[in-house]
Amino acid sequence: MDDEIQLISDGEGLAVIGDDRAVERFLAAEGLPSENLGLPRLSQTMAAGAGATQAAASISANSGRWVKLTKESAETVRKYGLRQNATSGVSTGVVKGSKGQIKGFVEFSKGGLLTNPAALAGAAGLMAQLAMQQTMNEITDYLDVIDEKVDAVLRAQKDAAVADMVGVDFVIEEALTIRRETGRVSDVTWSKVQAAALPIARTQAYALRQIDAIAERVESKQKIGDLAEVSEQAAAETHEWLAVLARCFQLQDAIGLLELDRVLDSAPEELDQHRQGVRAARQNRRDVIVRSTQRLIERLDAAAERANSKVLTSPSSSGVVVRSSNAVASDLGDFHRRLGIERDRDALEARRWRAAAGEVRDRAVASGASGFDAARQRGSAGFDRARGMGGRISGEVSSRVPRRRRSSEPEDG
């Protein structure tokens, strides 16, 4: 029989569903790394719901893998031309082949998972959860790399908006542990975390205000010495507040993951709409973070430009400003990538004092060349006049010297 691979893309990931061996061959042929989609868990959950027996059967007959959407996997989506579903917003399609060899692409499959709305919604919900889990893992790696003690930063703050955040992660981690053990999110488990969203949001807002305040301090300084001092402070403080923002985003994703499980368990018919709502809210959080951090880097870039223009008079301070700007830009670039935000910025290069001095020298030489020529011409004319005058003077002197000498000589006899 021909192999049949069902593909689903939600813009953040690609689900590959079908016979276990066929899925493995497809992923190997495309060179795509993947992880388990978790279809058995979805099948068990939907089988327990009323009227979902057919969807559960459709799911249990397949194996599924999830691929994070990168440039490579996005190319696979484009290559097979998946069609977007107007209701769910996900793109779907089927690839058919024989013995691992892909023959072609068809849009629909009789009796497949893609033709069952409940099964498709459930699979899309799993994909959303895996995307959030992937981001949570990325943020964990980010916090490990920067070696930032987020709890210590939070505890050091006296503001209640930040202090409330300290214990939230313990509550959420407990709920995630129960979910891993039981495979579901019960009413009791959900009741522990449903109030956690508010302190996280308050902490995120506070951290964003701190970043805005840093940007304003940088913009307010005009003297290069003051700018260097505040730029160094900005680099250190931004490093800390980005860690807090990353932790906020991670915990918000954890709540979203638990929330989707709760909806799947209690109201599976609402799962698709709820998934789209969670995704929209998640993108809004990204947009808010981008706006705030973009303002900061714009002000630091402007400060670096001002510092470069003063490199001759303040070489040390100018270098500090540019290095601090690049340090913040590097932190922001890594931070954005972990959150799935694509932003590019070329690092500014501090002008070396010698290079700047060379530019000034070249401009001076270029602008002074004509004046030098004119001065040389004037000097030549003056020399000629002086030489003519010198000739007359020397003639007069030579005519006088013999007379003086004759008057001083003794007379003969």
In this predicted structure, the answer to whether residue 178 has a pLDDT above a threshold of 90 is yes
Task: Give residue 283's pLDDT.
Answer: 93
H/E segment holding residue 16 = strand 13-18
CA–CA distance, 105 with 93 (Å, rounded to integer): 7
Contact 250, 265 (CB under 8 A): no
Task: Give residue 87's pLDDT.
Answer: 77
Q: What DSSP string describes 354-371?
A: HHHHHHHHHHHHHHHHHH
Neighbours of 187 (CB within 10 A): 9
Say which amino acid occupies 195: A
Q: Residue 312: which residues within 8 A CB-CB, separation 6 or more?
A: 353, 356, 357, 360
Task: Give residue 306's pLDDT.
Answer: 84
Contact 188, 266 (CB under 8 A): no
In this predicted structure, the answer to whether residue 34 has a pLDDT above a threshold of 90 is yes
**Highest-confidence range of 97-106, 242-251, 264-273, 340-349, by mean pLDDT?**
242-251
In this predicted structure, the answer to whether residue 60 has a pLDDT above a threshold of 80 is no
Task: Give residue 15's pLDDT.
Answer: 92
**Averaged pLDDT score across all residues of the chain:** 76
Strands (E) across 184-232 are located at: none
Contact 95, 5 (CB under 8 A): yes
Torsion of CA 106, 111, 115, 117, to 10 degrees: -160
pLDDT (mean) for 297-302: 89
CA distances from 1 to 20, 59, 241, 306, 401 (A): 14, 20, 57, 69, 129
In this predicted structure, the answer to whether residue 382 has a pLDDT above a threshold of 70 is no
Of 134, 140, 76, which is closest to residue 102 (Cα–Cα)?
Answer: 76
Task: Give residue 40's pLDDT.
Answer: 80
Task: Write the pLDDT tens digit of every residue in 190-230.
Answer: 998 988 999 999 899 999 999 999 999 999 888 888 888 99
Task: Write the pLDDT tens digit of every residue in 315-372.
Answer: 788 888 888 888 898 889 889 988 988 765 554 445 444 554 455 445 444 544 444 3
In this predicted structure, the answer to whether residue 385 has a pLDDT above a threshold of 50 is no
Q: What is the b/e burial string over 298-317, where b = at least 16 CB atoms within 10 angstroms of the residue's CB?
A: ebbbebbeebbebbeebbeb
CA–CA distance, 237 with 53 (Å, rounded to integer): 54
H/E segment holding residue 272 = helix 271-309
Strands (E) across 57-176 are located at: 63-68, 83-84, 91-98, 101-106
Residue 97's pLDDT band (boundaries 50, 70, 90)? low
In this predicted structure, the answer to whether residue 187 has a pLDDT above a threshold of 70 is yes
Q: Length of the chain, please? A: 413
For residue 96, what are the β-bridge partners? 4, 104
Q: Which residue has the higher pLDDT, 322 or 410?
A: 322
Of 139, 132, 143, 117, which is closest to residue 58 (Cα–Cα)?
Answer: 117
Report the DSSP pairing between strands 91-98 and 83-84.
antiparallel
CA–CA distance, 270 with 413 (Å, rounded to integer): 147
Measured at the alpha carbon of residue 41, what is the angle toward residues 36 and 46, in degrees to the nearest 5?
Answer: 135
Task: Give residue 152's pLDDT.
Answer: 62
Percent of the chain residues past pLDDT 70, beyond the cut? 69
pLDDT (mean) for 163-180: 87
Task: Give residue 381's pLDDT.
Answer: 46
Task: Give residue 33's pLDDT.
Answer: 92
Task: Write the pLDDT tens digit of every residue in 113-169.
Answer: 676 787 888 889 999 999 999 999 999 888 887 655 565 665 665 566 666 777 788
Contact 136, 52 (CB under 8 A): no
* Both tokens assigned to 290: 């981008």
Of 210, 205, 227, which is closest to residue 218 (Cα–Cα)?
Answer: 227
Task: Give residue 136's pLDDT.
Answer: 93
